[in-house]
Amino acid sequence: MKKKPTNTHSKGSPLAFQKIGVISKADHTQVNRILTDLITWMTTHFKVQVYLPKETSVPKKISKWIHHVPKESIPSKCDLCIVLGGDGTLLSAARLMTKKSIPLFGVNLGYLGFLTEIKLQEMYPSLKETLEGNYNQDERDRLSIKLFRNKKCVFSHYALNDVVISKGNLARIIDIQVDVNKDLLSHLRADGIIFSTPTGSTAYSLAAGGPIVHPNVPSITVTPVNAHTLTNRPIVLPGKSTITAKILSKTQKGDVTLTIDGQVGVDIKTNDTLEISLLNNPPIKIITNKERGYFDVLRTKLQFGKRD
């Protein structure tokens, strides 16, 4: 890792962010050392207030600088959230942004790091510029998901990447009716179906054959998973669309599952209806590397357009 910067913020100059939340990947081998160094640096050079989830433990030598709070309260108490981990850690942080959205500064401790695009060796100089107000920020749409059973909403959630209906290990092909703005789109027989945001277009949807959609294009991509017929293809729908997906298959417990961002799951039953729409209030704010644009990330992370 690069040497930490030693220059401090000029006295009396206001910071862009004063209250900093930090959410870290719990099982990363180096996270305790990185977290300790980061908090020491921030509190020494910038005198910011630091908030950690209650379940995050820190050494006694820095505990005096920490406010431990419930994880879900970080958006209401902070004006910036540093995420130490991979894309999964950032997705879990994004799910906290229900009523108030604060910028997410994602530092990649994982592998691909498509959302957490700031490298560990770039963390200190990038964070210094961010705290001083010199940063770039993307605003990303999410999906609003509501699950109806007997006309009653029994589950609701948000997704930054995608919503997936999938079969269990022993289940047969799923029959799903998909409507867009009350007009029939398709009767689909497949292993599942993915509804993704532009952000999620480079995740599971891409692996299933879906298109890459630029984050600035308000849209919802519908991607079948192993469709029974070749006539069912991925389709990109306008962002103002309201999509409903009804389960027509006869199901037992565990046969069909609804999964949010690959992290939150719930069983769904015959005749359950899923309602999906695009949500921009509040948007998810992600601080990006000033030196790399979206297409740079595509070429670097996905080898987009690479020629042998």
Which CATH number characterizes residue 33's domain? 3.40.50.10330
Q: Are residues 147 and 270 in the same domain?
A: yes
**Is 13 contained in some domain?**
no
Q: Are strands 273-288 and 183-190 parallel, antiparallel or unpaired?
A: unpaired
Distance CA 174, CA 232 (A): 14
Q: Are residues 97 and 169 in the same domain?
A: no
Q: Are residues 78 and 183 in the same domain?
A: no
**Is 285 contained in some domain?**
no
Q: Which helix (H) or strand (E) holds 106?
A: strand 104-108
Distance CA 234, CA 210 (A): 6
Q: How far is CA 172 from the centre of its chain?
A: 30
Q: Which residues are catalytic?
A: 87
**What value, to the nearest 5°, has the Cα angle with vertex 86 and ends 85 and 87?**
135
Q: Are residues 151 and 207 in the same domain?
A: yes
Res 240: pLDDT: 96
Could you state, in chain order, the average pLDDT of each consecutive group of 10 residues for the chain (308 residues)? 41 81 83 91 92 88 89 96 94 92 92 84 94 94 96 95 88 91 95 96 95 96 93 94 95 88 94 95 90 85 78
**Is 110 contained in some domain?**
yes
**Is 10 contained in some domain?**
no
Q: Where are the alpha helices (DSSP H) in the chain?
A: 31-45, 60-63, 74-77, 87-94, 123-131, 204-207, 294-302
Q: Are residues 256 and 146 in the same domain?
A: yes
Res 301: pLDDT: 81
**Is 3 contained in some domain?**
no
Res 276: pLDDT: 98
Range of the domain at 101: 19-135+290-302
Res 170: pLDDT: 67
Q: Could you give the number of structural domains in the chain?
A: 2
Which CATH number characterizes residue 146's domain? 2.60.200.30
Res 151: pLDDT: 92
Q: Are residues 28 and 116 in the same domain?
A: yes
**Is 35 contained in some domain?**
yes
Q: Are residues 148 and 218 in the same domain?
A: yes
**Is 126 contained in some domain?**
yes
Q: Are residues 182 and 271 in the same domain?
A: yes
Q: Are residues 276 and 146 in the same domain?
A: yes
**Is 179 contained in some domain?**
yes
Q: Are residues 220 and 253 in the same domain?
A: yes
